[in-house]
Amino acid sequence: MKKLLIASALTATMALPMTALAADYIIDTKGAHASIDFKVSHLGYSYIQGRFNKFEGTFSYDAKNVEASKVTIDVDTTSLDSNHAERDKHLKGKKYINASKFSTAKFVSTKVTKNADGSLAINGDMTFYGVTKPVIVNANLIGEGNDPWGNYRAGLEGTLRLELADFGMPVKGTSTYADLDIILEGIRK
């Protein structure tokens, strides 16, 4: 009876349409091979640049079936770092990102498509400042392959402009947007 059940399961599995399965990756933040950097206008005269030092996530990618790809990233907003401690307190405070109340930002993809030029459009839901809105990350595959330590890696880069008012963040007298540059290098599970 057990052999009959196994044979039936194998037969049923083989009858399913064959589709490529995207490979799953853990974003390599421990090796500092990933980054989320930001740039905001400073009074219209210059830019403040910085990064988020703590984040984690996963992604799935298969060049033969890009539509099966997925990305999930959780960002610790209390880890904002603009290389200036006093400014960081100010930016993390209630007037700006209010990191004590909204300590996590999150991106979860909902759809990935390959553009005619080979780039990727990663549609997803971005939660920032306690509000979730749909956004599109413009992305590219950097590369993939074996590393010297016996792992398989893939890397993606992407850009995103967050219109801060869309997330309910006060923008009076400040930049109305934040540009994000995202580098994700992942180790295949």
The whole-number pLDDT of residue 175 equals 87
Answer whether residue 7 shows pLDDT above 50. no
pLDDT surpassing 60 at residue 18 = no
pLDDT tens digits for range 90-143? 999 998 999 999 999 999 999 999 999 999 999 999 999 999 999 999 999 999
Q: 143 vs 6, 44, 157, 177, 183, CA distance in Å?
A: 39, 36, 10, 30, 12
| Overall size of the chain counted in residues | 189
Least confident of 30-44, 54-68, 125-139, 165-179: 165-179
Is 80 exceeded by the pLDDT of residue 19? no
Return d(Cα 109, Cα 123) in angstroms, integer: 6
Mind listing the pLDDT tens digit for each residue in 24-52? 999 999 999 999 999 999 888 999 999 99
pTM of the predicted model as reported, rounded to 2 decimal places: 0.86
Give CA separation, 16 vs 4, 11, 19, in Å: 19, 9, 9
pLDDT at position 173: 72
Residue 73 has pLDDT above 80, yes or no: yes
Band (21; pLDDT cuts 50, 70, 90): low
Report pLDDT for 174: 77
- What is the spatial distance between Cα 91 and Cα 132, in angstroms, rounded to a whole number? 20
Helix (H/G/I), strand (E/B), else coil: 21: coil
Each residue of 129-138: b (16+ CB within 10 Å) or e? beeeeebbbe
Percent of the chain with pLDDT over 90: 81
Within 10 A of 173 (CB to CB), how many other CB atoms are there?
Answer: 7
Query: Does residue 129 or residue 14 have the better pLDDT?
Result: 129
